[in-house]
Structure 1
Amino acid sequence: MNAIEFRNITKEFPGIRANEDISFTVKKGSIHALIGENGAGKSTLMSILFGLYEPTAGEILINENKVFFKGPNDANALGIGMVHQHFKLVDVYSNLDNIILGAEWTKKGYIIDRNIAIKKIKALQEIYDLHFDLNQKSGQATVAVQQKVEIMKMLYRDNDILIFDEPTAVLTEEEIQGLLKSFKIFKASGKTIVFISHKLKEIEQVADYATILRKGKVAGNFEMKNSKMEQIIEAMVGSKVEVIQNDGKKYSDDIIFELEGISTKKEYKNLHDLSLKIHSGEIFAIAGVEGNGQNELEKVCSGMIKPSAGKISMKIANASGEGKSLVDITNVNVYKRSKSKMAYVPADRHHHGLILDYSIHENAIIRRLWDPQFQKMGFLKKSAIRKYVDQIIKEYDVRGSHNGYGFARSMSGGNQQKFIVGREFTSEHDFIIIVQPTRGLDIGAINNIHNRILAEKAAGKAILLISYELDEVIALADTIAVINEGHLMLTKPARELTRAEIGKYMISSAKNKGGVNAK
């Protein structure tokens, strides 16, 4: 029996056809992956299924009955729930109150009876192995706990069709495995799971079926046990994908960026006496389990926070205009570092990479308003800005921007990421901080960005790469340092390290530190 059937679904927005004549089925009690390039229409289709959008044409059947949703409440009433890529929680509410919001048990018609809800939720936590503190404020919870709260919202409402939009994009490897284990438990209990993902290893691990969307259309349907990943990749991107690898060519001895004895206080995970040097033409990669000081290192290097001890230096042009030298920038702010030819792709694209309610044109120059390329005597050069944005859109395949006039908020997460990467890579810089550059991207976009990172190396740029994707670190790095509990446990040339050795230092205690900080 089919839990879901899409029949000729088309969805149009002004100037964009997000979905075109989409038809496929999802079997009841199965795990069905929805795969495709960024901007292929996956989130739009799931938003239609959840009642957030009405289709322009076509129809949906749930349990072989035609349905029409006026909103998410209609979808919920038919047992459909959704965990969005960006969670829909009220930060100041407890986890409990976020779960029951809109579905509260009451006594005397108006008094909320939390005890009944707590009893039901605790029973569900035992059944589905989803344990977390109900009294904790959601805004203070980790991303993994926030996701569990979102999942519990669906289970609490007795949803049988569970939709997940990029559920593993912000999780650690351990948390990912926990979520995939939950998928199997949901399936065993008879629930139907539809999840959007770009991570082919996860799809191979848990999916029964997969549907590929490309440019808003169905490009293929696969039963996973009878399919090869090569077939799926080719259907997704329209061609075979090349393997990207650093060629290992020696970088310069010219130091562009240096940390000496950097420590922090009062941060979530303080840094402890970190030292490193990054040279012209070197990709210096930080590996480690998320939450071990990467966020603090990113903020210290970019200028968002000041270290409590230590020195930060960067090679910049001398005031005389003749030559460059290493200069202490420890107390220099983000804006001045940008003017000194530092580029920055942040981990948090919504808070540090974009102003969501500004247009793409405005976001393109927000860090470069001083640049004579874009302004003269305080007046913006609009034609130059349009030309620059058109270049980014074309070279980085940014979709959904309405030719740069649309708001950043209107683009998918993957296209927002491609735009930020394009903006920073095309800026004038000698040193670039790149954090999680391919989070939420499809395999074609990942390869494009990896190629461009290697092109940065070839052009002599100094690159600090912070990534939780170990495959990405190994493929791109000249030098790898492992961060653990705010310490650099190990710093070695990438060619001298094995995956097993990196993994050992990622999970060992910082008290048993076996490496050195600086090269």
Structure 2
Amino acid sequence: MTNTDNGTNHTTPRPVVRLRGITVRYPGVLANDGVDLDLAAGEIHALMGENGAGKSTLASVLYGARRPDTGTLDLFGAPTRLASPADAIAAGIGMVHQHFMLFPGLTVAENVVYGAEPLHRFGVVDRAAARRAVADLVRRYGLDLDPDALVRDLPVGVRQRVEILKLLHRGARVLILDEPTAVLTPGEADRLFTVLRGLAAEGRAVLLVTHKLGEVLAVSHRVTVLRDGRRTTVLRTEETTAGDLAAAMTGRDLDLDVVHPPGTPGEPVLEVRELTVAGRGTKPAVDAATFTVRAGEIVGIAGVAGNGQAELVAAVVGLRRARSGVVRLRGEEITHAPVADRRRRGLAYLPEDRGEVGAAGQASLADNLAAGFHRGPLLGRFGFLSPTALTRHARRIIDRFRVRTPDTRTPIAALSGGNQQKAVLGRELAHQAPLLVAEQPTRGVDIGAVQAIHAELVAYRDAGHAVLLVSAELSEIRGLSDRVLVCYDGRVVAEWDRDEATEHRIGLAMAGEAG
């Protein structure tokens, strides 16, 4: 392992981006503390770190979305100040966000040229020229896109190519990608890496913000690691390992090959029979799904985003109405029961969207961790919540899940995404409900916290509870699940026991080739 902490060496080209001494402060938090970053032409450079380490903040500085308190930026050899993303785009910097910024009702070509349309001399959009420009980009980069296709009809992986085309149409020479494989199948991720290598080969600089060790090792040239807001090291990827990266991020050695033994299934806890949920138009979002989750087992659902798993979970937990079919919890039908009733009967839920569904952003961390407990042990005299009990309860969850927060009164929205995730999961596990429905439990969570969360889910299962796990991470599905289901186009198209659920099989089923 070579530590090139000065960001350059004799084989590294001259940087096109030089960030020096970047410091960003939020109330009670030092997000970036004098961070340096060099990004060279022709390089894919990974930016890694634990939750709250400052990755997203640093990327937002480079994209002009956050002005640093101190520090400088040199871009293409000249001092540069970016007051907004528009300034960054004009300067040749583009960003592909984790949540795509596309208009579903417009075509690929219309999305790509939006805001930078070719015009006739009287100021009217030249649609023919726009289509030709997009078609030329598609051919040049081999992105396999139909310029006339509506974005809403495209798979998630193809939509990501549209986002990349937008940047190329605007002449971006520096591309920032934020967790780009979070919603991709393994095949789609491989195709993305091929595109990124091609962009780097023609001299563009790519900054890859990710927490996935495997993809960093597969596609990047160098890695900058942040810890507690500071840059700890810069590593040449070809001279490092997953263990080196994990240790650099966490400051401790981690066992990355943990194998969880299978559970011992008991009686059915959740039974879903022929469940159908309405979608757009006449096509159902969920089409006659049938499966069972037993006490003492984890059942994982794999699938590319948009194939019905989100609507399936929403119907199970009561956030979406079932058109037909039956849902039973511990033998009692709950198909049309309200959410509160399902919770009382023994259902805990970690939602995919922790910000909108799982937490009240402006409420304190303590208040958020009290949700569901407020009618019980947190009550003081005369039926009012006890501040002492509230703080003690919050502190137990914070300590157990290593939630980084200035104090229990901090609004949960002020925490990093990963720390919000740990807090919401800790609250749901504390209910000790017979059934836990967990959507994307480790999304945006660093490697150390991932292992801790996995251990908690396995312990929950081994205590006799049932877990329904929905995850876009195949390694997570395969590592935790006793049985694996795959959703495609609204249907459960495959079911395997753990030993039968190979990555190849799951990947094919996710792409609609269950065989």
- Residue 72 to residue 402, structure 1, CA distance change in 2 (3 Å): farther
CA distance in 2, matches of 1:503, 1:170: 13
Give the one of 432, 441, 444 matched to 1:440: 444
Amino acid aligned to 2:234: N
CA distance in 1, matches of 2:323, 2:40: 56
* 1:331 is the counterpart of 2:345: no
Give the one of 402, 415, 418 matched to 1:397: 402
Q: What's the CA shift for 1:47?
A: 1.0
Tell me which residue corresponds to 2:462: 458
Q: What's the CA shift for 1:448?
A: 1.0
SS of the residue 2:485 aligns to:
strand
SS of the residue 1:276 aligns to:
strand
* 1:50 is the counterpart of 2:54: no
Conserved 8 A contact 1:22-1:218: yes
Tell me which residue corresponds to 2:92: 79
Give the one of 314, 320, 325 matched to 1:310: 325
Q: What's the CA shift for 1:482?
A: 4.0
- Residue 387 to residue 111, structure 1, CA distance change in 2 (3 Å): farther
SS of the residue 1:38 aligns to:
coil
Q: What's the CA shift for 1:183?
A: 0.4
Amino acid aligned to 1:334: V
Conserved 8 A contact 1:19-1:217: yes
- Residue 505 to residue 136, structure 1, CA distance change in 2 (3 Å): closer
Tell me which residue corresponds to 1:280: 295
SS of the residue 1:262 aligns to:
strand
* 1:469 is the counterpart of 2:484: no
* 1:175 is the counterpart of 2:209: no
Under a length normalisation based on structure 2, what TM-score does the superposition of the two structures give?
A: 0.86
Amino acid aligned to 2:423: F
CA distance in 2, matches of 1:94, 1:488: 30
Tell me which residue corresponds to 1:322: none
Q: What's the CA shift for 1:357?
A: 5.3
- What is the RMSD of the two structures over their aligned residues, measured on CA atoms? 3.1
SS of the residue 2:336 aligns to:
coil
Q: What's the CA shift for 1:313?
A: 1.4
Q: What's the CA shift for 1:209?
A: 0.7
Tell me which residue corresponds to 1:320: none
Q: What's the CA shift for 1:399?
A: 3.6
CA distance in 2, matches of 1:130, 1:498: 28
Post-superposition CA distance 1:459-508 (Å, at most 9, x none)? 22111112232322222122333445555455454246555555566567
Conserved 8 A contact 1:244-1:451: no
CA distance in 1, matches of 2:381, 2:490: 45
* 1:248 is the counterpart of 2:252: no
SS of the residue 2:182 aligns to:
coil
Tell me which residue corresponds to 2:7: none
Tell me which residue corresponds to 1:424: 428
* 1:212 is the counterpart of 2:222: no
SS of the residue 1:437 aligns to:
coil
* 1:346 is the counterpart of 2:360: no
Under a length normalisation based on structure 1, what TM-score does the superposition of the two structures give?
A: 0.85
- Residue 131 to residue 362, structure 1, CA distance change in 2 (3 Å): farther
Q: What's the CA shift for 1:343?
A: 0.7
Amino acid aligned to 1:278: V
1:53-452 aligned at under 5 Å gives the runs 53-89=66-102, 95-107=108-120, 110-132=123-145, 142-242=155-255, 243-251=257-265, 253-266=266-279, 270-288=285-303, 290-315=305-330, 326-356=331-361, 359-365=364-370, 373=378, 380-399=385-404, 403-406=408-411, 408=413, 410-452=414-456
Conserved 8 A contact 2:361-2:411: no
* 1:2 is the counterpart of 2:15: yes
- Residue 51 to residue 413, structure 1, CA distance change in 2 (3 Å): same
- Residue 116 to residue 497, structure 1, CA distance change in 2 (3 Å): closer
Tell me which residue corresponds to 1:481: 485
Post-superposition CA distance 1:218-251 (Å, at most 9, x none)? 1211111222222112111111212333223524
CA distance in 2, matches of 1:91, 1:477: 34
- Residue 90 to residue 278, structure 1, CA distance change in 2 (3 Å): closer
Q: What's the CA shift for 1:10?
A: 1.5
SS of the residue 2:188 aligns to:
helix
Amino acid aligned to 2:100: F
Conserved 8 A contact 1:241-1:444: yes
Greater shift after overlay, 90-99 or 171-180? 90-99
Conserved 8 A contact 1:11-1:57: yes
SS of the residue 1:167 aligns to:
coil
Post-superposition CA distance 1:305-353 (Å, at most 9, x none)? 34343322112xxxxxxxxxx2111111223212222011223334433
Q: Which runs of 5+ in 1 are unaligned?
A: 316-325, 513-519
- Residue 193 to residue 508, structure 1, CA distance change in 2 (3 Å): closer
Conserved 8 A contact 1:261-1:310: yes
Amino acid aligned to 2:438: I
- Residue 479 to residue 6, structure 1, CA distance change in 2 (3 Å): same
Q: What's the CA shift for 1:369?
A: 5.8
Conserved 8 A contact 2:326-2:333: yes
- Residue 164 to residue 497, structure 1, CA distance change in 2 (3 Å): closer
Amino acid aligned to 1:163: I
CA distance in 2, matches of 1:509, 1:93: 29
Q: What's the CA shift for 1:371?
A: 5.2
SS of the residue 1:332 aligns to:
coil
Greater shift after overlay, 68-77 or 354-363? 354-363
Q: What's the CA shift for 1:114?
A: 3.9
Conserved 8 A contact 1:50-1:82: yes
- Residue 383 to residue 147, structure 1, CA distance change in 2 (3 Å): farther
Post-superposition CA distance 1:160-214 (Å, at most 9, x none)? 0111111112222232222211101211221110110111111111101111111
Q: What's the CA shift for 1:418?
A: 2.4
Q: What's the CA shift for 1:85?
A: 2.6
SS of the residue 1:244 aligns to:
coil
Conserved 8 A contact 2:95-2:167: yes
Percent identical: 33
SS of the residue 1:337 aligns to:
helix
CA distance in 2, matches of 1:208, 1:123: 29
